Every structure is written in C-alpha cells, then in structure tokens.
Structure 1
Amino acid sequence: MDPRNHSSVTEFILAGLTEQPQLQLPLFLLFLGIYVVTVVGNLGMITLIGLSSHLKTPMYYFLSNLSLVDLCQSTVITPKMLVNFVTEKNIISYPECMTQLYFFILFIIAESYMLSEMAYDRYVAICNPLLYNGIMSYYRCFQLTAAVYILCIIQSTFHTCLMLRLYFCKANIINHYFCDVFPLMELSCSSIYFNELLALVCSSFNVLIPALTILISYIYILYKIFHIHSTEGRSKAFRTCSSHILAVAVFYGSAAFMYLQPSSPSSVSSMDEGKVSSVFYTIVVPMLNPLIYSLQNRDVNVSLKKMLERRIFF
C-alpha cells in the first residue's frame, strides 16, 4: 500500500516528553541508562535460560519469551525517543512511523498475554503440583506462546491497516515520543470512527481478559498459600506474589489509563498525562521485569553463579 495515495504528509515530528531545554540532557542520560539496563537484563536473561540446563522448565520458558518481548518493545521505542533529546526536531518518516506503530502494538499486546500465561503457570504449579508436568508440557507451552504471537500479529495488522487508510492533512507534529494510535488519530482529517472503535474494543479485550486471568489465578494461589503451615514458606510465597502483582499493576494500570479513557482530541493535558503513564509500560516495566521475576529467584541466581564461575575457571 503506497502511503502517498492516502496522505499528503510524508513525515512527522515527534514532540517528545518535554520542551524544556534544561531537562533534555538529564532525561537523555536517565533513559539511556534505563535502556542499557533493559537490554543487558533481558538479553542476559534470555542467554542464561538458554544455556542453563537447570532452567529448562515451563516457568523459565515463559520468562525467556517475556524477556524477548520486553527487549523488542524497548528497542522499538527508546532509541528514537533518545534522538528527541539531542536534536532540535525529531523527524520520523511516514513509513517509519507506521512500522513503529505496528511493532509497538504487537509487542505491547504480547506483554499483556505473556504476563497472564506466567500467572497461569504459577497457578498450575502451586495448586495442581501433581498434574503440573502433564498440563504444562513443552508442547502445551509452545501452543500457548504461538497463540499469543499469532493474535498479536493479527491485531497489529488490523490497527496498522486502518491507520494507513487515514488521510493526514493537518499539522504533522505528534504530541508524543513515539507513533501511537490516539496521537496519530488526532492529526487525521478523515473519519476515525472505525479506528476508535477497534482501539476501544481491542484495548478492552487485551487488558480485561489477561487481567481477569491473572486475578483469578492469584485468588486460587493465595487460597493455597493460606493453607501452607510453614511460616517461612508463606512469607516467601507472599514476597513472590507481591512483586508480581506490583509489576502487573504498574503495567495494566498505566495502559488502562492511556487507552481506556474517553477520546478527547482537544485536551492537550489529557495527552500529556497519557505520555507520562505510557513511560511506565513502554520503558520502565521492560527494565523491571528481569529484576522482579528473575534476579530475586534462587534458581536464576544459582545458575548465574555457576555460569560465572565456569567462565572465570576457563
């Protein structure tokens, strides 16, 4: 599909997080550091799980996929965002913008469902330990993961195709630090009814279904934990659950604030609030996930220690 047939705009300008010059350098250094930690953490986790024979379990299979999604999602957003802090105008071409939109939607939806699959895996492990190996077989884990990626590709394709049909003839300044659905729709001078409808339906589905899955899983998990007689066992389980729930709350809360609020194109303050909330689920959460899901895990720490000792020995 040739973009020139649908838009007189050949490039966009990303407004970024702030227009205050004194904040540009501090924010650049901050988000550069976050991106480095994100890449090292997630890439390291993928490598560790792939090389360690002790981590060949369904839990770490899902974790490696979550790390891959976080790594890709951060790479789609952050490098272009960093450019905005060191250039006077952060220009992105029409094809680049649509490509960024496509992969952002793909990975943000995948993040949502990966979190729910991890919660379901923990539910089976804690509440049905005798049936765990049968229920969470390698083939079943592969099916669940493949289904997530297929669903994400389908939805991302629909969103992008509907965006490509819009005609952009207004100002080309996107009030955001990346090409997102609602900021792009604000610039359109053609009907966005179907775009808004698809965004609302898909956003509701992709937030509520995984969130309900996580909530129900944890209700059963907590019920099981309360029946653990060991104080130490309950304390350890509660610490694990609280970290997971905190990360899930940050991700779904910020995503819901951005996408489940009524559309108000004239409200600049609403979009500015949305930019701040989107920082959490596009940049902060991918950095935190390797820490809260992995570095506090004893199996991961033992495997990492063994790998480092083996590397030093050689």
Structure 2
Amino acid sequence: MPVLTDRFERVHDYLRISVTDRCNLRCLYCMPEEGVEFAPSSDLLSYDHIVEVVEIGASLGISKLRITGGEPLVRPGLDGLVSRLAAIPGIRDISLTTNGVLLADQAEALRRAGVNRVNISLDTLDPTRFRFIARRGDLKRVMDGIEAAARVGFSPIKLNCVLLKGVNEDEIAAFLKMAYEHPLHVRFIEYMPIGHADDNWKNHYLPLTRVLEIAQEQSLDVERLDDIVGNGPSEDYRITGGTGSFGLIHPISDHFCKRCNRLRLTADGNLKPCLYWVDELNVKPALGDPEALRAIYMRAMEIKPLNHEMAAKLAGEAQSHEPTARRMSQIGG
C-alpha cells in the first residue's frame, strides 16, 4: 500500500505549497479590503526549508506540486524555487495558481523552471466589475497574463471563476462562450466559507447546478469529459464543437472529499490535512530532522477527517470538527 494513505484508504500524492500570504488584490471572497495583517517575512518558510519538506514528501509518494499563495508571484525568485523542486526525484508535475496580474512578466521564466500548467483566477470579464470584486488591479493585466501563458506553452490553462450570487452569475453564458471559442478550461467554483461563514457568504452562495441550467437555456449540447490533465475535483464538460472545456468544482453542493489526495503546506510552515478544519501540524521544529518530518506527514494521515461538512454550515447544522479561522489567502487555495 502507498505510504501516504489515510484511515479512509485515500492515497495522497499531491502537495499544495503556499509561498506567501500576501496578495496584490483583495478579492471580496478571500480577504477583507483593509486591515489585513500579513505574516512577517521571518515567519515564512525559506525556499531551502520548502525544498526540504518536499524532498521528504517525495520520498513518501508525493509526485504533484501546486504553488499557491496569497499571490505566489509577489514573492521574489519564485522561478528559482521551482527549478529546485523540479529537480527532486519523484516530482513529475508542478502547477501554479495565480491571479495573473504579474504573470505576463514571469511566465517564460516559470515555464523554463519547470511549471507545467497554470490556473488563473478570473471572476469576471468586465473591467468595472473586476475592480468591484478584486477591489484593486486591472483586468487587462490578467488578460495579458493569460495570453503570455498560452504563448510560452503552459497546458492546460485553467481559468478559475468563483461564482457569487448577485455579483457575477449573469456572466455564466459569457464564460461558457469563452470555453467554446478558445482552448481554455473554465472552472466554475462554489463560494466556500473558508475563515468566515457569515451572512455575506450565505447570501452570495450559488450552487453550480445553475451553470448547467444556463447551458440548457442557451441550447448548448454538452458532453462529460474525463481527460483534462490535473482535473482533480472538477466535473468536466465540453460544449460540442468547442475548442475548450468547462468544469464544476462544487465542494458545498456535492463535496469531493471521498477522492481527496492532497495536503497543504502553509507559507508559515504548517501542514494541513484538510483545507476547512483547524487542524495543522507545524513542520518548523522538525526541519533538519528527516525522521521527524516523515512523522509529521504520517500524523497528517492519522488525523485527516472524512470530509469538510461545509454543506452543514450552509444549512446551519452542527459540525463535528472546528473550522479554521484562517482566510483562504493564509492557507493557500
């Protein structure tokens, strides 16, 4: 049996690495507009320490990495880290999640370093609405980043669209058109209560059944797919005759925990078995001690719960564990 197997016989071969909790945007579903307290640089894992943690993970079966944040591209020298991670025996796939604002300038270096594919956040195609959702930034820079990603050969290129009721649901048809006309993979994502479960979340939550309803209203002929690289929890479709695809990631309405194969390493050095729950294992005391780091990975398998129970939070029902108080930007998506 593979080494990193939890109590529910789920094999873990995927590590998501947050390199910073800082971001150049303030998306309304991710962090407050003002007053965000970022971890001091001295609290973040150094690149040397990240490599050390990944080397132990690779020896236990980790083969896929995703670099996240915050916004990972705000941390200097990221391509150097990627080069080192790509050289670790057993690591066969490195991907990146970014808001795209800085991607045009860094895409070529990251591709050369070993990033295979990118996920780019894109919640709207309207510049004014972009400023409302992101609270700063420029949609054009994101679109330039998407073009650069295609030019340097990232494949596939996935666009992550968090659907917000009353905010951007009227753009579903436009995103479906994008997935039809361009070789892009649009992924609609349900709004998750990570670090907050207030009325704002409940009021803006939209189940992704709405996407398929819109497709039907538009008389689009869609077919299920199972060949998208790195599809993870996404339920994927192609519009007949189209060049791209679209996917649904619905952790609330149809959670995907039974197939979970991932762990998360936060920028400040905690290994999280589950995105939603409070449980974290600090790797810093184990740095320099391979056996201690292996023990932390194994402990993560022991304490990982069966599922996240976000649907219970939406329904106002009791939960079996304590949800995290960290925002998504502090964990790494």
TM-score (norm 2): 0.24
* More helix, by proportion: 1
Q: Which structure has the larger Rg?
A: 1
TM-score normalized with structure 1 length: 0.25
